[in-house]
C-alpha cells in the first residue's frame, strides 16, 4: 500500500482501514466517537437514537474507507457522513413537525410535545439564563432539518460560515441564507413568549 499521509494522522489510519485494518478502525472510532455522538444527539435530541446513528456512521466509514482520496481533510469527510445520516434519519422517520403550521401558529408550536415541561409553564423563572437556553434549544428543534443542522454547527460547535459550508457541502451564501432563515424563524416561534414578557 502506497503511503501518502503522515503516520499517526486520521488520513493515515483511514488508508489502513481501507485494506481491512481493524486496529486502525478502533483507534479512529476512539478519536472521534464522542464528538460525533454529541453532534448527532444535539440534532436528534434522543441519546438512544443518536447512538444508533453514530454506529451507522462508523459502519459507513469502514465500508467506504477506500473512497477517501484525501481531497479534503478526513474530519470534513467524516462530518459530511454524519450530517447526511442525520438528515436522512429525520426524513425516514418523518418526526419533524409540519413547519408551515408551526410558523403560522407559533402558540400551538410552543404547546407541542417538543415543548412539554418547558419553563413557559413557570413564568416567574423564565428569565433565568438556563431556562431561556432550554426554550431556545427547544425552538431550534422545531426548525427544518438543514436550518437546524447549520445552526447547531454554528451555535454549539462554533464553526465559521466557511467551515459550515464545507461540512454541509454547500456555498458560503447558502450557509448564510440557512442561518439567517433559522434565526428569523426562531424569533417568530418565540414571539408569543416575548409578547407576554415571559422571555
pLDDT digits (tens, 9 = 90+) for 113-167: 444 444 455 555 544 667 777 787 888 888 999 999 999 999 889 999 999 999 9
> What would the DSSP string read from start to end of 140-196?
HTTS-HHHHHHHHHHHTT---HHHHHHHTTS-HHHHHHHHHHHHHHHHHHHHHHHHT
pLDDT top residue among 94 and 170: 170
Q: In whole angstroms, what is the distance from residue 105 CA to residue 158 CA?
A: 31
Residue 136, pLDDT score: 78
pTM across the whole model? 0.76
Angle ∠(31,36,41) on CA atoms, nearest 5: 145
Q: In whole angstroms, what is the distance from residue 184 CA to residue 134 CA?
A: 18
Residue 110, pLDDT score: 47
**Structural domains of the chain, with CATH:** 10-93 (1.10.1740.10), 99-195 (1.10.10.10)
pLDDT top residue among 195 and 119: 195
Chain mean pLDDT for the chain: 82
What is the percentage of the chain residues whose pLDDT exceeds 70?
75
Per residue in 108-120, pLDDT (tens digit) is 444 444 444 444 5
Amino acid at each position: 500500500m502506497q503511503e501518502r499521509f503522515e503516520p499517526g494522522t486520521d488520513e493515515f489510519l483511514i488508508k489502513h482501514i481501507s485494506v481491512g485494518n481493524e486496529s486502525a478502525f478502533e483507534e479512529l472510532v476512539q478519536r472521534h466517537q464522542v464528538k460525533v455522538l454529541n453532534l448527532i444527539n444535539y440534532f436528534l435530541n434522543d441519546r438512544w437514537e443518536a447512538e444508533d446513528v453514530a454506529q451507522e456512521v462508523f459502519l459507513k466509514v469502514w465500508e467506504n474507507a477506500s473512497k477517501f482520496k484525501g481531497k479534503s481533510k478526513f474530519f470534513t469527510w467524516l462530518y459530511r457522513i454524519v450530517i447526511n445520516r442525520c438528515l436522512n434519519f429525520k426524513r425516514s422517520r418523518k418526526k419533524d413537525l409540519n413547519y408551515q403550521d408551526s410558523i403560522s401558529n407559533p402558540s400551538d408550536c410552543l404547546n407541542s410535545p417538543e415543548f412539554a415541561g418547558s419553563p413557559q409553564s413557570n413564568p416567574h423563572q423564565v428569565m433565568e439564563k438556563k431556562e431561556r437556553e432550554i426554550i431556545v434549544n427547544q425552538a431550534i428543534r422545531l426548525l427544518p432539518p438543514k436550518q437546524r443542522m447549520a445552526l447547531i454547527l454554528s451555535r454549539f460547535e462554533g464553526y465559521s460560515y466557511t467551515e459550515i459550508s464545507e461540512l454541509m457541502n454547500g456555498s458560503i451564501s447558502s450557509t448564510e441564507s440557512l442561518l439567517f432563515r433559522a434565526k428569523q424563524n426562531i424569533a417568530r416561534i418565540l414571539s408569543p413568549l416575548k409578547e407576554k414578557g415571559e422571555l
